[in-house]
Structure 1
Amino acid sequence: MRKLLSAVTAVVASVSLVSCGLGTGGGFTPSGELAGEVSEIDLDGLNIAVGSKNFTEQILLGKIAVVLFQSAGANVNDLTNIPGSTSSRQAQITGDVDFGFEYTGTAWITYLGETDPIPDEQAQYEAVRDADLAQNDLVWLPPAPMNNTYSMAVTRENAEEYGLETLGDIAKLPPEKQTYCVEGEFNARNDGFGPMLEAYELTPPDSGRLSIVDTGAIYAAIDGGTCTMGEVFLTDGRIPALDLVALDDPRSFFPKYNMAPVIDREVLEEYPQIADLLQPITEDLTNERMQELNARVDVAGEDYADVAYEYLVELGVVE
């Protein structure tokens, strides 16, 4: 019944999400014709709702999916830019969203409630894939090489002056220099700020040395000296753009956050060619490639949909 009414429910889902305060992307997203190795794939007749969370990389990945599905002939409901991991996940669990790009570490720790990350990337992916299929009828297609895990970053000047290479080196800093900028979700996560300090035996900062700021403002805060260290994602384009140094995690505290396409099982069973359509994307997206795409939005100020479309054209899967 959900399949027969998918076109109607897509509209209802969009209205429901907005009425619940979940602002979504929408707007015009360009499309073309499929090309290259995916040129023969046809998704005519498919109605699919694409979701994403509300930070740059997620919106950009969501728009890549929107462009790709539209170019393959699908009718796409653009529900990108849903605020927060919890809301985005709930939309997919309830069937309001059929497809999104997700991270293995987020699913394992935050969604599936596990406490111990699996250090091996492939083993972590397989554990998430098997659990989410069994529990939620969600299919995890093969992951990308990119690992959008957390770290703390410092300016190159501070890294060189104090010999900062790893998270454990934070202890080398004078107490007054141990200042942090993090966003609210990271501060509350069980794979976030407090547990990280504990894992590296670092002294928790008092309130005067901890600033809770929006994710997008952290990079400028580090660069401008508001704080010595700030929470970053390793695929963020502002790390190379601002010449920041992301500290290594030798104790493997942070889970692996490999990105993978996640899709409703019924949708994939009806349109199995979706797996082949997405394969060139996941094979291409390394940390460096994702940094470049993210920087086009966060540094150069380009539009998400334009960057997504031009990426797919450059990759040779859309023309």
Structure 2
Amino acid sequence: MAVLPIFRLRRAAAFVFMLTVGPAMAADPVVVSSKIDTEGAVLGQMVLQSLEEAGIPVENRLQLGATNIVRNAIKAGEIDLYPEYTGNAAFFHDQADRDFWRDPDQAYEQAASLDKKAHNIIWLKPAEANNTWAMSVRGDLARDNGLQTLEDLANYINDGGAFKFAASAEFVESASALPAFQEAYGFNLESDQLLILSGGNTAATLRAAALNDNDVNGAMTYGTDGGLNALDLKVMEDTLGVQPVYQPAPIVRAEVLETYPKIREVLEPIFESLDLETLQRLNGQVAVNGAPADKVARDYLDSLNRD
């Protein structure tokens, strides 16, 4: 058997090494995650499917858990990207007492700046929708009285309009919730105008208003609750910015965005298209109609492509 010269042996060994490690050196897939709730499932599927469609390799870790779980996971590098809410950055960075969290642009800028400095995490463009604590009313009440904003609702209440509001004890008692709304907009709900329900589940308050239970025609909700459209309830716009802003936005580890810069151009127009009514409708298809989140996301992405 012929003996190869030493330099040829080295070249052959190097070639074998390249074949062995080459695939492992390829860019890792983007680990896409989301929170465990309905909106997390819908937004997560939009991210996952749109990146995959754009040719970016992905790994599915959707509906991983509550906020603290996904937050710790992205900080530890266990996941690469998930949808977060601008207002949550106030708590992540111990700045919940600052007024700028009530302004959409300032809240986004602060969230992006704080997370970039502290954890090298990048916030991409947020949705217009604001999933914050809200006061909602029955659709028929809104239509019959032209109620669009909390100023409209305050005028209706102060003029003696019949109103009874379902809420959790936390919402009624927390200085940042109902008391803050009442002070800012100049109205007051007496004890007989309140139906206080145990727990903080908006499904119960939504149901009470929709069924006109005990004459309830208003409810504590979140801005993008899936049951709002299905139950014909309308969010009163918080024009004075009483509540912090919670706009959903994709957040991604900076090194992953550097590897796959196309992530930004793929995701930003999708989130830009998500206004309040759109996200309410999409959440409702899952939460109320029982449609799978992946199908709801697919249909919505297809509709954007058609447009």
Q: 1:203 to 1:241 in 2, by over 3 A?
A: closer
Shift of 1:99: 0.7
Structure 2 counterpart of 1:287, one-letter code: L
Residue 125 (structure 2) aligns with: 142
* 2:137 pairs with 1:154: yes
Contact 2:81 2:251 in 1 (8 A): yes
TM-score by length of structure 2 reads: 0.73
Match of 1:113 among 94, 98, 109: 94
Contact 2:103 2:241 in 1 (8 A): no
Shift of 1:205: 5.7
Contact 2:172 2:178 in 1 (8 A): yes
Shift of 1:196: 4.6
Residue 110 (structure 2) aligns with: 127
Whichever structure has more helix as a proportion of its residues is: 2
Taking the aligned partners of 1:149 and 1:189, their CA distance within structure 2 comes to 15
Contact 1:197 1:204 in 2 (8 A): no
Structure 2 counterpart of 1:224, one-letter code: L
Identity of aligned residues (%): 30
3-state SS in 2 of match to 1:316: helix
* 2:177 pairs with 1:180: no
Q: 1:237 to 1:197 in 2, by over 3 A?
A: same
Residue 196 (structure 2) aligns with: 210
Shift of 1:177: 6.0
Contact 2:32 2:79 in 1 (8 A): yes
Contact 1:141 1:261 in 2 (8 A): yes
Residue 313 (structure 1) aligns with: 302
Taking the aligned partners of 2:301 and 2:143, their CA distance within structure 1 comes to 39
Taking the aligned partners of 2:271 and 2:144, their CA distance within structure 1 comes to 38
Taking the aligned partners of 2:173 and 2:73, their CA distance within structure 1 comes to 22
Structure 1 counterpart of 2:82, one-letter code: G
Shift of 1:255: 1.8
Structure 2 unaligned residues grouped into runs of 5+: 1-23
Residue 12 (structure 1) aligns with: none
Q: Deviation string for 1:242-266 (max 9, x for gaps)?
A: 2213223243111222222100111
Shift of 1:78: 2.6
Structure 1 counterpart of 2:242, one-letter code: F
3-state SS in 1 of match to 2:87: helix
Structure 1 counterpart of 2:93, one-letter code: L
Aligned length: 271
TM-score by length of structure 1 reads: 0.70
Contact 2:167 2:205 in 1 (8 A): yes
